[in-house]
Amino acid sequence: MIAALHARVTPKQLQEVGPTRIQLEQIICAAQSAPDHGRLKPWRFFVIEGEARHKLGRLMASALAQRSPDSTSDELAKEAAKPLRAPVIVVIACKVQPSLKVSALEQVMAVAAAAQNFQLAVHSLGYGCQWKTGPAAQDPAIKQAFDLAEADILIGFMYVGTITQPGPTRDGSLDTSRVSYWSSVL
Ligand SMILES: Cc1cc2nc3c(=O)[nH]c(=O)nc-3n(C[C@H](O)[C@H](O)[C@H](O)COP(=O)(O)O)c2cc1C
């Protein structure tokens, strides 16, 4: 387990095949095991695979055209082709639940933790995952397509598939410059 945590990196390129339906359910179940203050389950998962990736691509291109009316046809075609970069895309979103006790920020943090559980579960099953956002994640038309209100957050487009080009590995050592110990009473 700890070795998997140390070894995960974002792959540069993915291709067919993606996880099976059973594996996807295991992955999403791992995501749903993230810490969730108040057990509000603010997370939502939209699995987009096969031909539906074209639908997402069209949505992304039309949102880009709306955001940036000067986009060239090449840029729009490139945007439309983005979802084809992996066999499966899982959109992970935070639908902020009404709560007096748990702030919207905490709910977003819970869903980000779920997204990281998701990445690690994908990795542990031998596939690769790229966590992407970009302007599309904040686009109102895209959020609306996933039933998200203005206050809700699209946490990531999780591209999942078989790794064809791995990402740069880390050296695996601890970066002590980012760690402080408070070990005694000051
Ligand atoms: C919330 C979030 C959004 C991200 N969005 C993008 C993105 O839109 N495009 C991108 O190339 N990388 C994005 N990344 C970064 C990659 O997922 C990845 O973490 C980064 O390339 C570093 O690789 P590593 O995971 O191997 O350290 C995002 C990461 C996070 C946590």
Nearest CA owner, ligand 1 atom 27: 9
Range with the poorest average pLDDT among 12-16, 28-32, 105-109, 170-174: 170-174
Residues 6+ positions from 158 with CB-CB distance below 8 Å: 89, 90, 91, 92, 115, 118, 119, 122, 129, 130, 131, 132
| Model confidence at 186: pLDDT above 80 | no
Residue bearing the CA closest to ligand 1, atom 13: 132
Tell me if residue 46 falls in helix, strand or coil.
strand
**8 falls within a domain:** yes
Q: How many domains does the chain have?
A: 1
Q: Ligand 1: residues within 6 Å at CB?
A: 9-10, 130-134, 156, 167
pTM of the model: 0.97
**Ligand 1 center–CA 183 separation, angstroms:** 34
Does any domain span residue 174? no
Residue 109, domain extent: 2-49+84-165
Closest CA to 4 of 125, 146, 94: 125
Q: How far is the CA of 45 from the centre of ligand 1 (A)?
A: 18
Domain membership flag for residue 39: yes
Per-residue confidence band for 3, with pLDDT thresholds at 50, 70 and 90: confident
Residue 77 lies inside a defined structural domain of this protein? no
Residue 41 within a domain: yes
- Asked if residue 9 has a cis previous peptide bond (ω within 30° of 0), the answer is no
Pick the range with the lowest mean pLDDT from 4-13, 79-88, 146-155: 4-13
DSSP 169: P
Summarize pLDDT for 9-44 with one digit per residue, the tens: 999 999 999 999 999 999 999 999 999 999 999 999
DSSP codes joined into one string, 120-137: HHHHHTT-EEEEE-SGGG
Q: Please report the pLDDT score of residue 185 as a whole number.
A: 80
The CATH number covering residue 98 comes to 3.40.109.10
- Tell me how far apart the alpha carbons of residues 127 and 50 are, in angstroms, rounded to a whole number: 17
**What distance in angstroms lies between residue 9's CA and the mean position of ligand 1's atoms?**
10
What average pLDDT does the segment 57-67 reach?
98
